Amino acid sequence: MSQSTQYSTLNTQYSILIMSDIFDKIKELTEEIENSLVQSVEEIEQFRIKYLGTKNIIKPLFGEIRNVANERKKEFGQAVNALKQKAEAKFDGFKEELEANASDEEAKSIDLTAPGIAEQLGSRHPVSIVMNRMVEIFSRIGFNVAQDREIEDDWHNFTALNTPEDHPARDMQDTYYLLNDPERLLRTHTSSVQVRVMDYQKPPIRVICPGRVYRNETISARAHCQFHQVEGLYIAEKVSFADLKQTIEYFAKEMFGHQTKIRVRPSFFPFTEPSVEVDVSCFICGGDGCNVCKYTSWVEIGGCGMVDPKVLENCGIDSDKYTGFAFGMGVERIAMLKYQINDIRLLFENDVRFLQQFEAGL
């Protein structure tokens, strides 16, 4: 049988090749693979399709084995396998090269001399800055900090503080009550915390109560329905109004500067008697008159007075033995004075451009 007839029945692209040709073909493909060069991902893919894809050009050669003379079958099989492995090795090489190049490219695109991106530092809220400062000033003269719930009952917010139902003084603090529960409300001041302290602690008591409070006020540049207070309470034997003034004066000088003076004006709170409103000398103009003090030389910072004996009795404290003073200050008000902020709403909107200005603290 001649070699040409040997292949005549084959239905492959190599069917017309004679025996020596088919070994030549393997050699030719081997060289072709060895010499292959690729420039791009697309060319690697073309290589894969040609030599390793489902219809690759090596596959038909495996079928040729049945047409190869027995004594050369082994040699032929090894040659085709070697060809296939060559294609696989080449392809793996291309892939590795591509990956190496890609990370090279990436590395080249990093500019090591470029300045870094600065981390954005957060800043403390002005209300927190002022509140922390107030707490710190009072802690230095022995006041402890007490905090408690914002949803209060009527007793702790009003009745224990000598403000029974229908007392006209309740109108001073427009109250948010919880729906369907006239007994529960959002505290209108942190005096409620002082009542709770008196519930579980016996005199001497020296405590400040920082915290958020709520009042149903129309929101404007000067008023908000939520704000913060630092209230204080001192109960011991023989506490006098002079002690109160001394304490407030110490606070004012620490907070606004040592040249600061205080004055008190008679006022009314149901839980203190006598009651006064406290002004500090204007720390902006020093008394010459300016926008902050509205040309009066004084700015109001809060209310205070001697604890009404009725309140002490309501809280189980012997009012014959003990006396005390209480004070309350609005944190936003002091922050606004200190930083000359003319609209309280800015303190609740949390616009970063506004808040960023307080990074340096007080």
Q: Which residues contact 8 (CB under 8 A, 6 or more apart)?
A: 15
Q: Give CA–CA dist 197/212, Å, rounded.
A: 17
Q: Which residues contact 313 (CB under 8 A, 6 or more apart)?
A: 319
Minimal distance in Å, beta carbon 236 to ligand PHE? 17
Residue with Cβ nearer ligand PHE (211 or 303): 303
Minimal distance in Å, beta carbon 189 to ligand PHE? 3
Contacting positions for ligand PHE (CB under 6 A) = 189, 191, 231, 269, 272, 275, 303-305, 326-328
Minimal distance in Å, beta carbon 123 to ligand PHE? 29
Residue with Cβ nearer ligand PHE (133 or 228): 228
**What's the angle, vertex CA 204, arms to CA 199 and CA 209, rounded to 5?**
60
CB 155 within 8 A of CB 162: no
Residue nearest to ligand PHE according to CB distances in the complex: 328
Q: Please, which residues bridge with residue 108 across strands?
A: none
Minimal distance in Å, beta carbon 300 to ligand PHE? 12
Residue with Cβ nearer ligand PHE (67 or 192): 192
Residue with Cβ nearer ligand PHE (44 or 326): 326
Residue with Cβ nearer ligand PHE (36 or 173): 173
CB 319 within 8 A of CB 327: no
Burial class (CB in 10 A: 0-12, 13-18, 19+), 4: exposed
Element (H, E) at 109: helix 70-109
Minimal distance in Å, beta carbon 214 to ligand PHE? 11
